[in-house]
Structure 1
Amino acid sequence: MPDPAPGTPLRPIPARPHSGRDDEETRQLREYNAHIVALDTRFGAGAILAPAVRSAGGALRAATAGRPSRDRLSAVAEAYQIAGWLAYDADRQGLSHRLTTRAVRTARLAGDRSAEHFALSQLAMQAIHLHRPDRALRICDTVLEDDLPPGVRTLFVLRRARALDQYGEHARARRLIGETYARHLDGVGPRDPAWTWWLDTAEITWHHAMLHADNGRWTRAIPLFEQAAAGRIPGSRTAYNDHAHLLHALARTRSWRAAGDLLESHIVPARATIASGRITRLLADTAHPPTGRPAASRDLAHDLGTVLRGAGFPGGPANRDRHR
């Protein structure tokens, strides 16, 4: 399914007065969406992906069976965007793309530009993850032509920096990352949507680290991954993500003692409660460093294999079809 072009207009549904039932079902869906987000922030996609997908599909069928209000369709778009994120975190990239595309189209039917921008930013994020900078830039450049609230613009500038870096325009990417930091320090504006809450300094720092990691500059990435992790909620899925990337960078620089300490202090304790397909796949790559490994590397690979088996990853590190 192709990406929906950001400028493609869909005629919003006519505004109409809300019925009591419509308002109540919209409220219930928003509450459920918030509950799923809270679970994901703490535990990762894991067991909540399937119910989130069912909820989004059921909400759309129920809404379109009648004459839904714009608010109700907007809540449905939010449900699809959340389900798309969960599929992304579970490393179900094809499913993620389909769900997020549905979120974009539903947001357009609702006339909800904020929800549309959020879903488009997710498509750009996935394109970067899959190393499709052409797709990410097409989305970002079109959206950045809009009159965006400050926080939304900051997000798309950040995505654009990552995409340009993958094109090899490293100096421009670094300048845009600097611009992202500066924009974030200016604070949110009155028009910024509630969903920009998660775009904080730690998130920007993680993307800064990824500029270096994508190009094998591991020694530069390490302190940035450390800073990002320090800014997260301890024990959260985002902290686990940062620590996994830090572990990967430490392994690539053969910092075996630091890698072993990190594995024991943060990776192993998190495996029992946090489920993320992306992180599990990254750990699988970390457990397979180049051949001719020293004994410390073999020990780390063995310990990571134990973590992966505990996470239910079939075959552990042997599975190498990583989506980038």
Structure 2
Amino acid sequence: MGDAKRKRFGAYLAQLRRDAGKSQRQLAEALCRASGTASVTRNEVSRWERGERVPDGWLPALSTALSVSLRTLERGAAHARGTDTGTDRPSPAEALAYFLPDRVDPGPLASNAGRRVGASTAAALTDRAHGLRLADDFIAGGDLLVPALRELDGAVRLYRESTHSEETGRSLLSSIGEIAQIAGWIASDAGEHDQAERAYRLGISAAREAEDLALVGNLAGSLAYQLSNTGREDAGLGLARAALDEAGSSAPAKARALYLDRVAWAHTKAGEAGPAMRALGEAHEAMVAEDSQEAPDWAYWVSPEELDVMDARVYTELRRPLRAVPLLQEVLSRYDSTHTRELALYLSWLAVALVDANEPEEAAQAARRMLDLTADFASDRTAKRARIVLSKLEPYRDIPEVREVLDGHAA
């Protein structure tokens, strides 16, 4: 997890540098002037931005050079080093400012209306898409939905109201597709499923026009996942399989593993255990297959550990707790505690699996941790999972540990 934290902080520094209108070399020169030495090179700045190093001693100078508060940089550096305690979770506004500094409102992006835009503008929009994805790791859908929809609206207006080359146009369309995917995911987490479906379908249209088949698969698979989870299991299964087929066998390995995981979940929700298990196996095979293609940025979170989580969720849904519990316990033992929603969701699956394994006391312990994490977290996903967990515990109310959880979280 440490490498991922440093990379997130590095991506944040790179975005701040670009917002300040500086190249890596110009930033290095500014830091040298501020310190009165010549000890910072462009290569060193590049290492920071790739997440290979954390620029601890240079935070005050970076604060000045990039016009960002020192406290914000110190918080991010502490998180990147893994020395933050996790007890002082930043507010949604602070977290959003971290990943989408300044220009949260898309107005400046649309200010290019009627003017020709080029590769640098397309790259800036790509950065915004990635920043929004990173923000979703830490902020609940209910708190992030309005900024996400503003980002999507700004991206669409930028494309429609500017002129650009064919290559730049494709890049802008791909970014619109990426922003639409994460906006749809955020809307779904906020319980706004109609809004999510509209965002996904807009993104599919943009990605197809950009001829970005891997992104089409991600968008269609995301919509399929929502359909499967909202009582439209047959439609979800059909779309999940279509997403896999449209992306094709040449899709990057991580992307194909993700599509197969969604197929496995769709089969599970449709009550088809055999096909679900086969799809899980194929997902793991895809993950370890030799791959000549670089994984797309939006697949940064796909990993063997995440596949293990989906395995465990499928096993739990199929009432196979002896398989689910060890997997979830292993993943949770090393999971990044700052990712509140995902941690809570994984704990909810563990609690359900433990009930099915006839271990209600341990289930109550996992449930209490999950419920405490999400007491003030504006996520429809975690709220629904909380209700499922409490209903699973109800038959064991006569056990003191269970009764304490049920009475303490009755609302």
After TM superposition, the runs of 4+ consecutive aligned structure 1 residues lying more than 6 A away are none
Equivalent residue for 1:300? 405
| Contact map agreement 2:237 2:266 (CA 8 A) in 1 | yes
Secondary structure of the equivalent of 2:338? coil
Query: Measured at CA, do residues 190 and 219 of structure 1 come closer, stay the same or move farther in structure 2, by a change above 3 Å?
Result: same
Tell which deviates more after alignment, 267-276 or 175-184: 267-276
Is 2:100 the counterpart of 1:40?
no
Aligned-pair distance for 1:38?
Answer: 1.6
2:198 corresponds to which letter in structure 1? R
Secondary structure of the equivalent of 1:288? helix
Is 2:162 the counterpart of 1:66?
yes
Secondary structure of the equivalent of 1:287? helix
Aligned-pair distance for 1:97?
Answer: 1.2
Equivalent residue for 1:15? none
Equivalent residue for 1:322? none
Equivalent residue for 1:89? 189
Aligned-pair distance for 1:103?
Answer: 0.8
Residue in structure 2 matching 1:261, options 365, 378, 388 = 365
Residue in structure 2 matching 1:235, options 305, 323, 338 = 338
1:223 corresponds to which letter in structure 2? P
Aligned-residue Cα RMSD (Å) equals 2.7
Question: How far, CA to CA, are the matches of 1:275 and 1:233 in structure 2?
Answer: 19
1:206 corresponds to which letter in structure 2? V
Equivalent residue for 2:387? 284
Tell which deviates more after alignment, 146-155 or 289-298: 289-298
Aligned-pair distance for 1:83?
Answer: 0.4
Is 2:207 the counterpart of 1:117?
no
- Relative to the length of structure 1, the TM-score reads 0.77
Unaligned runs of 5+ residues in structure 2 are: 1-114
- Relative to the length of structure 2, the TM-score reads 0.62
Superposed counterparts of 1:1-324, under 5 Å = 21-68=117-164, 69-145=169-245, 146=248, 147-186=250-289, 188-236=291-339, 237-251=341-355, 253=357, 255-264=359-368, 266-267=369-370, 270-271=373-374, 274-289=377-392, 290=394, 293-296=397-400, 297-305=402-410, 316=411
Aligned-pair distance for 1:124?
Answer: 2.0
Equivalent residue for 1:319? none
| Contact map agreement 1:80 1:100 (CA 8 A) in 2 | yes
Tell which deviates more after alignment, 45-54 or 140-149: 140-149
- Give per-residue Cα distances to partners, 1:218-271, cap 9 Å, x unaligned: 44432232233235322313222211221233345553332343345x435533
- Give per-residue Cα distances to partners, 1:146-199, cap 9 Å, x unaligned: 232322222222222222333443223223212222322336542532322222
Aligned-pair distance for 1:295?
Answer: 4.3
Tell which deviates more after alignment, 137-146 or 118-127: 137-146
1:172 corresponds to which letter in structure 2? P
Tell which deviates more after alignment, 239-248 or 184-193: 184-193
